[in-house]
Amino acid sequence: MGPIHRSTLIFIHGGGVGPWMWADQAAFFSGEHRVHTPVLPGHDPRRPEEFTTHAAAAHSVAGQTALQEAGGRVTVVGFSLGGQTAIQLAAAYPEKVDRPVVVSSLLEPRRGAPVLAALAAAAAPLSGSRLFTRAQARQLLIPAERFEDYYAL
């Protein structure tokens, strides 16, 4: 029997969360696949880096996962902001990305986006409130054991 060729899966988290959101999926698939859960720029509380563009995020993911050195082509799964990054990654590295899987991502600009951006900016000071963040985490169905990870962002 020949060598086993494990495929590579890259799970990209959404905005305001981190790689921890994929912990269950990473554990499930890691027996059969090489699994990567990179951190998007601006989402690591230990590094003062801002999210600037989808292209920069895709480049960061490619570097963190050693995409160019990956044997074979990879499947990239992205949620929300991670889905937008997955599309950018597939466009930038078509020879490496076999299947982009996009979950709950806005791929075309919405009408009223400037109004939504203004509302988000107005609500930003609330993000430092533990009480507000706990209420938000409940609405987003973030498990209690992941709250500290969520609050750290």
Task: Please report the pLDDT score of residue 136 as a whole number.
Answer: 86
Return the number of other C-beta atoms located less than 10 Å from residue 121's C-beta. 9
CATH topology of domain 1-108: Rossmann fold (3.40.50)
pLDDT tens figures, 30-41: 999 999 999 999
**How much of the chain, in percent, has pLDDT values that exceed 90?**
53
pLDDT tens figures, 91-139: 999 999 999 999 998 877 677 777 877 887 887 788 788 988 899 889 8
* 37-56 burial: b if 16+ Cβ within 10 Å, else e: bbbbbbbeeeeeeeeeebeb
Instruction: Say whether pTM exceeds 0.85.
Output: no
Domain boundaries, the chain: 1-108, 109-153
